[in-house]
Every structure is written in C-alpha cells, then in structure tokens.
Amino acid sequence: MDTKITLSFDKDVVKQAKEFANAHHISLSRLTEFIYRQLAHKTYDSLEELPISDWVNMLAEGSVEYQRSPRSRKAVKDEYLATRK
C-alpha cells in the first residue's frame, strides 16, 4: 500500500530529478522510493557513509546543505497551495 508524504526540495533539483526519472521511464515517486529503499537496506553511521550512485551525483550541484527551519502549519499550507496555482 502506498503512503503519501510531503517533501520540500530545491526547485532546480526537482526539475533535474523529474527529467532523470522521465528519461528512465519511472515516476519521480518511484525514483524517490527506490532511493529510500536503498538507504533503509543498511544502517549508516553518518551522511558521508551513504552510497550515492553516479546518477544521484549528476543531480546534485555544489555542496549539500541541510537546513531546518521551524514553520507553522499555515506557512506549509500556504506554500503548498501556492504551487497549485
């Protein structure tokens, strides 16, 4: 059974990931699921240990920056609705 989740990514990364997925005849959802399945297959002690294949490296530009900022439910909802216009 599929479960829906909401993720936020840089729009350029999403564009490149969609292009990659389309070129390989797979949906972006299934591509993301594949990546998570690979990560969940083994326990890693740090982000540096994660196995990143060449095609994932092709999608990334520059160094990885993990940013977390507290957002209200309203801000998340407004952001989501803005993408649906």
The pLDDT score that the predictor gives to residue 10 is 87
8 A C-beta contact, residue 59 and residue 20? yes
pLDDT class for 64, splitting at 50, 70, 90? low
Exposure pattern of 11-35 as b/e (b: 16+ CB <10 Å)? Answer: eeeeeebeebbeeeeeeeeebbeee
Other C-beta atoms within 10 Å of 38: how many? 14
Closest Cα partner for 19 from 59, 57, 49, 52?
59
Query: For residue 78, what are its two tokens?
Result: 């407004």
pTM comes to 0.51
pLDDT digits (tens, 9 = 90+) for 14-32: 999 898 888 888 899 988 8
